[in-house]
Amino acid sequence: MVQINMTEREIAVKVVYYGPAMSGKTTNLQKLHEMISGDARGKMVTLDTADDRTMYFDFLPIEFGTNNGFSIKIKLFTVPGQVMHRSTRKIVLAGADAVAFVADSQRSAAGANAYSWRDMEANLKSNGIDFERIPKVIQFNKRDLPDIKPLHEIKDSWGELPTFPAIAPRGEGVLETFRELLSGLYRAIDSKHAFATNFGISEQDFLKGVFANIQKP
Tens digits of residue pLDDT in 193-214: 888 888 788 898 889 888 888 8
Q: Grade residue 49 by pLDDT with cuts at 50, 70 and 90.
A: low
The string of DSSP letters for 46-74 reads EEE-TTS-EEEEEEEEEEEE-TTS-EEEE
Top-confidence range, 37-41, 49-53, 88-92: 88-92
Closest among 123, 126, 43, 116 to 81, alpha carbons compared: 116
Write down the pLDDT at residue 165. 96
167, part of any domain: yes
Question: Could you tell me what percent of the chain has a pLDDT over 90?
Answer: 47
Q: Is pLDDT at 51 greater than 60 in this prediction?
A: no
Side chain identity, residue 35: M
How far apart, in whole angstroms, are the C-alpha atoms of residue 163 and residue 183?
A: 14
Let me know if residue 181 belongs to a domain: yes
Per-residue pLDDT of 8-37, as tens digits, reads 878 889 999 999 988 999 899 989 988 888
Domain range for residue 133?
Answer: 3-211
Which run of H or E residues covers position 189? helix 174-193
Evaluate whether 16 touches 78 at the Cβ level (below 8 Å): yes
Pairing mode, strands 45-48 and 54-65:
antiparallel
Banded model confidence at residue 57, pLDDT cuts 50, 70, 90: very low
For 141-154, how does the pLDDT look when each residue is reduced to its tens digit (9 = 90+)? 999 999 999 988 88
Residue 216 placed within a domain:
no
53 domain-assigned: yes
Residue 111 pLDDT: 94
Q: Check residue 212 and give its pLDDT.
A: 84
Q: Is 163 helix (H, G, I), strand (E, B) or coil?
A: strand
3-class secondary structure, 17: strand
Residues 6+ apart with CB under 8 A from 101: 18, 19, 116, 117, 120, 136, 137, 138, 139
User: Which amino acid is located at 12 in the chain?
Assistant: A
Task: Give the model's confidence band at 84: pLDDT under 50 very low, under 70 low, under 90 confident, else very high.
Answer: low
Assess if residue 155 is contained within a domain: yes
List the Cα angle 59/60/62 in 5-degree steps: 150
Q: Tell me, what CATH number does 94's domain have?
A: 3.40.50.300
Q: pLDDT tier at 52 (50, 70, 90 boundaries)? A: very low
* Angstrom distance (rounded) from CA 134 to CA 95: 11
Task: Read off the pLDDT band of 91 (50, 70, 90).
Answer: confident
- How many structural domains comprise the chain? 1
User: Does residue 217 lie within any of the structural domains?
Assistant: no
Residue 149 included in any domain: yes
Q: How confident is the model at residue 217 (pLDDT cuts 50, 70, 90)?
A: low
* Distance, C-alpha 33 to centroid of its chain: 13
Predicted confidence band of residue 113 (pLDDT cuts 50, 70, 90): very high
Q: How confident is the model at residue 56 (pLDDT cuts 50, 70, 90)?
A: very low
| Cβ density class 133-159: b for 16+ within 10 Å, e for less | ebbbbbbbbbbeeeebbeeeebeeebe
Q: pTM of the prediction?
A: 0.90
